[in-house]
Structures are given as C-alpha cells and as structure tokens.
Amino acid sequence: MKRVKVKLPSKRMVIRERKKKPKIQKCAICKKPLHGIPKLRATELKKLAKSEKRVERPYGGYLCSKCVREIMRERARKIA
Amino acid sequence: MPIEVGRVCLKIAGREAGRYCVVLKKIDDNFVLITGPKLLTGVRRKKCNIQHLEPLPFVIEVKEEASDEEVIAAYEKANLIRKLNLKKPSAAQLKAEKEKVKEKEVEKKTEKKKEGRKKKK
C-alpha cells in the first residue's frame, strides 16, 4: 500500500493508505499499450482465469496485433 | 504471387495466425473463402479478408469450393504435407468430421420446421 498525505477540510494533514496504480501492459517490440488486457495489480490478476489475462492469438498478451502480423509475414517469406 | 483459387497462404492475423490455408473462392476484391482444412491445419472453412493472408509460392489444383477431402488429396499430390511438415488426419477423424457436418444439417432442418410451425399459429 502507498502512504499518501491528505489535507482534510478541517485543514488537518493526515496520512492515508492508497492502492498503487498498475501500469498498462505494453507490447514487447513497439511498446504500444496492449488491448484486451485488464489493468490490475498482481494480487488481483491472480484471481482471474488465464483466458481473461491474455488475448486469443499467438503471442497473445506479449505482442500487439501489428507486430504479430509482421513476424508472421517474415515467417511466410522465409518459407518461400 | 497473386491470391487465386488453390493458392496456399499463411494466415497472419487472428486466432489462427501462423497457420496454413488454401483459397477456395474469391468473394470480392477484399474477401476470399478459405479452408485449412480444419483437420489438417486447424483453420476452418470461412470468409477471410485478404489483408489477413500472406500468399506462399505454392498452388494446388483444387476446383472452386472443393470439399475438404479433395483439398487434402490436392495437398498430397503437391507433396506439401511433407514440405510444410503437416500431420495428415487419420481416416477415423475424417469420418467423425463428416458425421458432425451431417448432424449440423439435420439440426438446421429441424429448426426450419419449428420456425414454420410458429408462423402457422
């Protein structure tokens, strides 16, 4: 938990505990935010089922859709 | 490498990214009917946008909208199964697939009958 100083209406300063805000998951290559991945802290992520934590696609929760397309295009060109 | 009937492509987007498929029919300049077939490469028969496909330099002789068995036979003739190291589905799997298709058709007919009855009431 993060400790935060809060000023009350009675002008008194109090230390309150706030949850830390989680970061958005980013694509490993282009560092753009990933779609379809919930923004939760590790403890909350644990409760979710595996299918809620990633996208149904090769490199699902790891790469964004554009990077997957480029990788697959290179793979296809290598076969030729 | 134009996208035409019989062209073997690699699906580069969606759940089946990285899997092989064959073009069966050109619907219009954006969409194409493809099939894996499902038992061979895991891509089922459906409409697909050509932007989600990357053509490969292989073409197999297949007539338009051919059945999955014909497509598998064409794969074999072009000995692509070994080249793309795919696993040929066993005869038992092919039979099971046929039954499933029949069941779906039977279900559709019964649904039509039910709809017919509702209208009469």
Of all residues in chain A, the one with the smallest CA distance to B84 is A79
How far is Cα B78 from Cα B80, in angstroms, rounded to an integer? 5
**Which amino acid, B36?**
G
Both structure tokens of A17: 């505990």
Say how many domains are in chain B: 2
Q: What is the pLDDT of residues A23-64, one digit of tens each?
A: 899 999 999 999 999 998 888 889 999 989 999 999 999 999
Section A70-78 average pLDDT: 91
Of all residues in chain A, the one with the smallest CA distance to B9 is A76
Q: Is residue A5 part of a domain?
A: no
Please indicate, yes or no, whether residues B44 and B63 belong to a single structural domain of this protein.
Answer: yes
When pLDDT is cut at 50, 70 and 90, the band that residue A66 belongs to is: very high
Please indicate, yes or no, whether residues B59 and B75 belong to a single structural domain of this protein.
Answer: yes
Please indicate, yes or no, whether residues B38 and B95 belong to a single structural domain of this protein.
Answer: no
Taking the model in full, what pTM does it have?
0.77
Q: Is residue A6 part of a domain?
A: no
ipTM summary value: 0.73
Please indicate, yes or no, whether residues B81 and B101 belong to a single structural domain of this protein.
Answer: no
Whether A53 contacts A35, CB under 8 Å: no
- State whether the Cα torsion A80-B2-A59-A57 is positive or negative: negative
The rounded Cα B73 to chain-centroid distance in angstroms is 13
Determine which of B54, B58, B59, B80 to mutate to test the interface with A (most A C-beta atoms within 10 Å). B54
Q: Do B14 and A73 touch (CB under 8 A)?
A: no
Q: What is the pLDDT of residues B22-51, one digit of tens each?
A: 999 999 999 999 998 888 888 999 999 999
Helix or strand run (H / E) with residue A67: helix A65-79
* Domain range for A68: 23-79
Q: What is the pLDDT of residues B72-95, one digit of tens each?
A: 888 888 888 888 888 888 877 777
Of all residues in chain B, the one with the smallest CA distance to A57 is B15
* Domain range for B116: 90-121
CA distance A31 to chain B (A): 19
Please indicate, yes or no, whether residues B59 and B34 belong to a single structural domain of this protein.
Answer: yes
Interface of A with B (CB under 8 A): 56-58, 65, 68-69, 72-73, 75-77, 79-80
CA distance A6 to chain B (A): 47
Q: Do A75 and B10 touch (CB under 8 A)?
A: yes
Alpha-carbon separation of residue B83 from A10, B31, B80 (angstroms) = 78, 28, 5
The rounded Cα A24 to chain-centroid distance in angstroms is 3
Which pLDDT belongs to residue B120? Answer: 61
Please indicate, yes or no, whether residues B103 and B71 belong to a single structural domain of this protein.
Answer: no
Whether B10 contacts A76, CB under 8 Å: yes
Q: What is the 3-state secondary structure (H, E, C) of chain B?
A: CCCCCCEEEEECCCCCCCEEEEEEEECCCCEEEEECCHHHHCCCCEEEEHHHEEEEEEECCCCCCCCHHHHHHHHHHCCHHHHCCCCCCCHHHHHHHHHHHHHHHHHHHHHHHHHHHHHHC
- Residue B19's domain is classified under what CATH number? 2.30.30.30
From the list A56, A69, A79, which residue is nearest B12 (CB)?
A: A69
Say how many domains are in chain A: 1
Please indicate, yes or no, whether residues B51 and B15 belong to a single structural domain of this protein.
Answer: yes
Q: Is residue A43 part of a domain?
A: yes
